[in-house]
Amino acid sequence: MNAEPMLLKPDPEDDRLYERVRGLDQDGNAVEAPVINERPLSIFLNSREIVTVMTIGDYPDCMAVGYLLNQNILTPEDEIKAIDYDAEIDTVVVRTDRTTDFEAKLKKKIRTSGCAMGTVFGDVMEKFETIRLDPAARLRTSWLYALAKTINTMPSLYLKTGAIHGCVLCEEDRPLIYMEDVGRHNAVDKIAGYMHLNGLSSVGKSFYTTGRLTSEMVIKTVQMGIPILMSRSGFTAWGVQLARQADLTLIGRAKGKRFLALAGEHRIIFDADPRAVTEEPRHLARKASLDAD
């Protein structure tokens, strides 16, 4: 296992992200449980409001930039001159040097039909169809087993509170960046934003999520240029179809010694004996099944 420290990992002791709520357990005993916070974040691009998302509230700069990139509203070529966050009104403004292509498209769409989101989705899918992922990238099963064990046992808000998802940017058997949020799409956006703001390349990287392998997760992973996507959860049919179309290696149901690959199998190197891998603890498997959605 690579012993280098992670660039960023969860802080389950950050009490800004959860609160303690009193209640009763199954036996009628008084208990106090940690419950994750959820708050709105309004994202602006220059002077235009783009969206309001529900998030746990950490890394608003990464969240905003990653969302704009993954929606193809902002491109890697657009120069960001400032990011302003106002915690009092839960608003983050991403400022660019000049008007982006999105603002021009939005203005034209508003004049013709009054709605721009179909245009945004069309642009995302048009870009998706042109991306070519690295065919020479490889995933050793020894790395997969090591990553799953490390990620699933690492102190996190998921283990502390549940009701939250995690996404992890990885390199070989090393987790690099671990983000959590109430939605897996938010967590992946925060990683995309961090990568862009810190000049971190997608070359040699893989992606792990605790949530389902949906079309949205596949699209965002492909847009980030990452050729391998793994999860302890299951698949959707459209997610698999899009992964095959993009030649994305898609691995799900990765628990203990088991996993299932439904796309991009040519990148997998079977260098570990599953018989030597221990099954994951029951409490982790049960918690995962309860929080899989």
Domain locations in the chain? 39-128, 139-290
At residue 103, the pLDDT reads 65
Hey, what CATH class is 139-290 in? alpha beta
Measured N-to-C along each axis, helices 184-198 and 215-223 cross at an angle, to the nearest 10 degrees, of: 0
The residues facing 84 across adjacent strands are 93
Whole-prediction pTM: 0.87
At residue 231, the pLDDT reads 96
Q: Confirm whether 39-128 and 139-290 share one CATH topology.
A: no
Q: Which CATH code is given to the segment(s) 39-128? A: 3.10.20.10
Name the stretches of the chain with pLDDT < 70.
1-3, 101, 103-122, 281-293
pLDDT in tens, 159-214: 888 889 999 999 999 999 999 999 889 999 999 999 999 999 999 999 999 989 99
The residues facing 45 across adjacent strands are 48, 94
pLDDT in tens, 177-186: 999 999 889 9
CB 77 within 8 A of CB 93: no
Q: In what order do the strands lie in the sheet with 205-209?
A: 174-181, 165-171, 205-209, 228-231, 249-255, 258-263
